[in-house]
């Protein structure tokens, strides 16, 4: 294969990749020229719950007392909560003790003092609504 043919193959492939990349960006939806609120805003056409949790946890960090145990869930997923939500909250609330989403007191283990809930309300006998924010709700453990 002469160098010119090799060059033609490479330039053609580069064009295909460029078009495929642009097509992919378009598929992920708009707005296209706006700085997003989170780094998860456009990784899917429909934002993931983790994107909502980024926003809620950032707000909750100023609302929930420092050092409190906190978990993060989307209540409709009970009992198999998406564990990535509490992991996301852990990065946004370093002054708190973010724990896995276990809302059943198994073997006497203490329940989290606060629960961050995105998208759907939490209906749990041990928790009451603490604060409603535009990004979601915060629940606190009943005394």
| List of residues contacting another protein (CB under 8 A) | 1, 3, 6-7, 9-11, 13-14, 16-18, 20-22, 24-25, 28, 32-36, 38-43, 48, 50, 54, 83-84, 86-88, 90-91, 94-95, 97-100
Which of 48, 130 has the CB closer to another protein? 48
- Nearest-approach distance from CB 16 to another protein, in angstroms: 7
- Nearest-approach distance from CB 14 to another protein, in angstroms: 4
- Nearest-approach distance from CB 137 to another protein, in angstroms: 20
CA distances from 89 to 55, 84, 92, 97, 106 (A): 9, 9, 5, 10, 23
- Nearest-approach distance from CB 126 to another protein, in angstroms: 19
Report the C-alpha gap between 92 and 28 in whole angstroms.
25
Residue indicated by tokens 């950032």: 58
Peptide bond into 79 cis (omega under 30): yes
Which of 42, 119 has the CB closer to another protein? 42
Which of 69, 126 has the CB closer to another protein? 69
Alpha helices in the chain (DSSP H): 3-27, 49-63, 83-92
Which of 90, 117 has the CB closer to another protein? 90
Residues, the chain:
143
Q: What are phi and psi of 51, to 5 degrees?
A: -65, -45
């Amino acid at each position: 294969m002469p160098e010119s043919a090799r060059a033609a193959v490479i330039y053609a492939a580069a064009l295909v990749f460029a078009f495929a990349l642009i097509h992919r960006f378009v598929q992920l939806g708009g707005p296209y020229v706006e700085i997003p609120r989170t780094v998860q805003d456009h990784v899917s056409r429909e934002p993931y719950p983790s994107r909502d949790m980024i926003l809620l946890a950032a707000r909750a960090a100023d609302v929930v007392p420092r050092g409190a145990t906190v978990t993060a869930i989307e209540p409709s997923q009970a009992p198999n909560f998406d564990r990535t939500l509490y992991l996301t909250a852990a990065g946004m609330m370093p002054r708190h003790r973010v724990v896995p989403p276990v809302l059943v007191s198994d073997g006497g283990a203490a329940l989290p003092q606060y629960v961050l809930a995105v998208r759907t309300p939490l209906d749990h006998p041990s928790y009451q609504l603490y604060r409603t924010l535009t990004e979601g709700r915060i629940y606190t453990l009943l005394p």
